């Protein structure tokens, strides 16, 4: 297997075997906020609807399966299970970086999940923006979108990860101007995302100058890519640097509010350590339109499609319960509720 394929499998193995999810440390920022409990909610729980409109599609809930993988046999099994769960639950799914597809056309099937789940409501493609400094061109992106029939496309920003990654690509110069020129040529809605260190005010202001549909926060508080790459590194120094930065960046709760304020005409997708329906509800009230979850769905997908469906249904029931006890009949009403700062 080549370098990218090996790396993809190592990422999956480390994510499945080691404790790379820092959500138990409560660093996602949501604990600072609470809803007011309403013991007289004046609604019938059975009439609560989680239905959400997103990019013209009707979703069963404001949830999505976050960008993770593709490119190897193991990734194919995971992607197929995620896609079937996404189809069954009618929530969107994002692919992991499609870079490997450009270098090795034989891995196409590991990404083409719509062939297995044709009624999947929305599929996001994905590639690292930094690849624009390493030969990526607009024609490649058209190809990536067409081959998998992506309905939207993510460019991920991950300078911290690339910096710790043993074979990382760290030339992040001139990316803003390159993205500015390229994004209008892409035929599907384009989103920019981080991968676990958050989108801060300074970054959001730069993103505002781009013609994107929206952002995904990829905030601090869940999966840590600095930590994952530190575990792959053979250099003692890099290991230490990765560990130092493993809880670095902007919390998801802060990043949502910053993106909502600065990118007020854009869609904000919340992600980064969101692990239950109460946090989903808080993310929506703070300004997100949708919530993406990655690591917990990987753990479930290693077992089966049904385990992924169960995780999604658990979060939906938690969200519905929260909506009942704050008196919100639908997502629009929920988003109007106030959160108290503790």
Q: Does 156 bind ligand FMN (CB under 6 A)?
A: yes
Q: Which residue of 59, 207, 290, 294 would you call a contact of ligand FMN, by CB under 6 A?
A: 294
Q: Which residue of 5, 66, 249, 277 would you call a contact of ligand FMN, by CB under 6 A?
A: 66
Choice between 275 and 337, CB closer to ligand FMN: 275
Picking from 128, 129, 93, the residue whose alpha carbon sits closest to that of residue 111 is 93
Q: Which residue of 7, 27, 67, 151 would you call a contact of ligand FMN, by CB under 6 A?
A: 67
DSSP string, 220-246: BTSB-HHHHHHHH---HHHHHHHHHTT
- From 9-17, 281-289, 313-321, 327-335, give the range in contact with ligand FMN by CB under 6 A: 9-17
Q: Which of residues 213-232 bind ligand FMN (CB under 6 A)?
A: 218, 222-223
First-residue to last-residue Cα distance in the chain: 51
Q: Which residue of 7, 81, 295, 337 would you call a contact of ligand FMN, by CB under 6 A?
A: 295
The answer to whether residues 128 and 163 touch, using CB atoms and an 8 Å cutoff, is no
Picking from 263, 322, 271, 220, the residue whose alpha carbon sits closest to that of residue 94 is 271
- From 33-41, 188-196, 241-249, 301-309, give the range in contact with ligand FMN by CB under 6 A: 188-196
Pairing outcome for strands 33-35 and 190-193: unpaired
Residues 6+ apart with CB under 8 A from 205: 262
Q: Does 272 bind ligand FMN (CB under 6 A)?
A: yes
The whole-angstrom separation of Cα 190 and Cα 247 is: 28
Binding mask 110-139 for ligand FMN (x = CB under 6 A): ----------------x-------------
Q: Closest distance between ligand FMN and the C-beta of residue 44, in Å?
A: 32
For residue 73, is it left (φ>0), alpha (ψ between -120 and 50) or beta? alpha
Choice between 212 and 326, CB closer to ligand FMN: 212
Q: Closest distance between ligand FMN and the C-beta of residue 45, in Å?
A: 28
Choice between 36 and 73, CB closer to ligand FMN: 73
The whole-angstrom separation of Cα 26 and Cα 9 is: 28
Q: Closest distance between ligand FMN and the C-beta of residue 42, in Å?
A: 34
DSSP string, 7-60: HHHHHHHHHHHS--BGGGGTTTSGGGEEEPP-S---S-GGG----EEETTEEES
Choice between 203 and 271, CB closer to ligand FMN: 271
State both tokens at 3. Answer: 């370098």
Q: Which residue of 4, 7, 15, 266 would you call a contact of ligand FMN, by CB under 6 A?
A: 15
| DSSP-based three-state secondary structure for 193 | strand
Choice between 272 and 327, CB closer to ligand FMN: 272
The torsion defined by the Cα of 70, 72, 75 and 79, in degrees rounded to 10, comes to: 50
How many residues make contact with ligand FMN (CB under 6 A)?
A: 25
Q: Closest distance between ligand FMN and the C-beta of residue 94, in Å?
A: 7
**Binding residues for ligand FMN, per CB under 6 A?**
11-12, 15, 66-69, 96-97, 126, 154, 156, 193, 195-196, 218, 222-223, 271-273, 293-295, 298
């Amino acid at each position: 297997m080549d370098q990218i394929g090996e790396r993809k499998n190592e990422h999956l193995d480390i994510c499945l075997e080691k404790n790379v999810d820092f959500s138990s440390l409560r660093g996602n920022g949501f604990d600072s906020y609470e809803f007011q409990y309403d013991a007289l909610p004046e609604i019938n729980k059975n009439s609560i609807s989680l239905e959400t409109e997103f990019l013209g599609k009707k979703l069963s809930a404001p949830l999505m399966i976050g960008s993770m993988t593709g490119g190897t046999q193991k990734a194919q099994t995971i992607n197929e299970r995620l896609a079937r769960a996404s189809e069954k639950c009618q929530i969107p799914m994002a692919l992991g970086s499609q870079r490997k597809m450009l270098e090795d056309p034989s891995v196409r099937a590991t990404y083409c999940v719509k062939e297995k789940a044709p009624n999947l409501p929305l599929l996001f493609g994905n590639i690292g923006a930094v690849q624009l400094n390493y030969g990526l061109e607009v024609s490649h992106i058209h190809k990536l979108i067409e081959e998998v029939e992506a309905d939207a496309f993510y460019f991920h920003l991950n300078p911290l990860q690339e910096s710790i990654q043993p074979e990382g690509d760290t030339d992040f110069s001139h990316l803003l101007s390159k993205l500015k020129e390229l994004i209008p040529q892409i035929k599907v809605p384009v989103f920019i995302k981080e991968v676990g260190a958050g989108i801060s005010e300074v970054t959001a202001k730069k993103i505002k100058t781009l013609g994107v549909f929206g952002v995904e926060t990829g905030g601090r508080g869940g999966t840590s890519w600095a930590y994952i790459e530190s575990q792959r590194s053979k250099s003692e120094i890099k290991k230490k640097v990765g560990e130092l930065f493993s809880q670095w960046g902007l919390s998801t709760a802060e990043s949502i509010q910053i993106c909502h304020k600065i990118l007020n005409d854009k869609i904000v997708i919340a992600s980064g350590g969101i692990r239950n329906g109460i946090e989903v509800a808080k993310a929506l009230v703070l300004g997100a339109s949708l919530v993406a979850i990655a690591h917990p769905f990987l753990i479930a997908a290693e077992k089966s499609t049904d385990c992924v469906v169960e995780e999604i249904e658990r979060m939906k029931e938690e969200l519905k319960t929260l909506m009942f006890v704050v008196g919100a009949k639908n997502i629009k009403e929920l988003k109007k509720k106030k959160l108290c700062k503790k």
